[in-house]
Structure 1
Amino acid sequence: VELTCSYTYPSGYTITTTFWFTKIYAEENYVSLKDDPDYKGRVTYREDEENGHTLTITDLRESDSATYMFRFTDQTGGWKYFGKPGVTLSVTGTDPTNIIEGTCLRLFCESICFLQDNPSYIWYKNGQRLFSHETKYLILDPVCSEDAGRYACAVNGQEDLASAEKTLTVRYHLRVKPSGEIVEGSSVTLTCSSDANPPVDKYTWYKKNVTSPKASGQSYNITNIISEDRGEYYCEAENKYGRLISSSVSVDVQCKFT
């Protein structure tokens, strides 16, 4: 995360010290984040143009939730300032059982019992054993929608002491499958289907080599289709995780003989 501020000071002064802080241990005892053991090695300062200053915090943690303030002093120490009330940063945790498709997930099986060296483990999905996984780690890389389900584990030989189940929910991007039948003179409907989670908010239809969209909505209806309508069509589906363009469907209008 980056926090940025700008500051001004009277002419004739030279600013010698600039830093960010969250803690004041005593009056005039401000601890720069660079010297704060809770942030050691995770913060950088950058002087920007026109008296701007940027704080960058890497490896963000929930414990970084705090109010951040900026301080500067001049060469004499006579001109001092720190920004109140500061900016409040709120860092929330992530739910490891609710993950976006395409990322990596590692499940870990831990036992409080005394175990022999290098025990093997059993993993279950929806009550069925996963025979391809026998270590304490179950790695799903990348996660796909088919990985959603209830997971549990046990030490091999102690199947009656299986762990409680954890439900994995996979939030996935969009998959779009257009379809349609083409008959000259009839009405043709192209349908954009998606199993997106969460559901699609917006569908838009395009024809290749045509800049402006042709239609919006899950279905695109071409009435009384003619030869000029032939070409490649595709749809764009969008939800809060992003947008995806479908593969194209070819509309090849055949002549109708009477």
Structure 2
Amino acid sequence: MALRTAGSVLVVFLWSLAVVLGQYGWSVIYTTQSICTLKGSTVELTCSFTYPSGTVTTTFWFTKIYAEENYVSLSDDPDYKGRVTYHKHEENSHTLTITDLRESDSATYKFRFTDQTEGWKYFGSPGVTLSVTGLQVKVTGGHQDKTLTCITTCTLTDNPTYIWYKNGHKVKEDTSSLYSDSFSDADSYSCAVKDHEDLHSPAVCQKCWSVTYTHQKICALKGSTVNISCSYTYPSYHEIKTAF
């Protein structure tokens, strides 16, 4: 399994196999059953499959079933439009790639295939559970001696190394998600994961103003619709009345 961002690559090898055996020689083997990765990154889900005879003509991944036998391929799902690709590595090996991950992509993904007669249709269970999370900085402690924690909604795969930034400059790199020191209320802090530095958390600051844009550069088609998002911080003694 490989996890990638636009400017970096993080490769994770998970050797434990989730084996799902079907009847009459039909089966699906997923490389891993659970993945937690960062919002905005790219993920690859890989499986291999077996069947007794004949020719497999249809292969796809899905998360939704609208009705009995109505499985929606991710390549046809408008929620994934332009963000998924299928790749056949070997005769019986298949990879799903999802780019620009969103928290709404958190779901269980399953692989389905049929033979040339469509008399046999099979998908493997339980599938791969994907959890997508952003990074946030939690501040605890007293007035100056504080502990910062880089938190996520799930445990990131492959025990990542955390990077801390003070006023936009890198100050610490550690396998621990904690950072304890004497901090000034006028300083801003954010965290990131090594090899995913472009996906850092929003900055936190007790007495300063800041705006963090989700993307610094976007390429879009003429006539299309684009969403430009940001997060902002401000001193707790202020009240925000307008934003535009």
Which category of TM-score, normalised to the shorter sequence, fits these structures? 0.3 to 0.5
Structure showing the higher strand proportion among its residues: 2
Flag the structure with larger Rg. 1
TM-score between the two structures when normalised by the length of structure 1: 0.41
TM-score between the two structures when normalised by the length of structure 2: 0.43
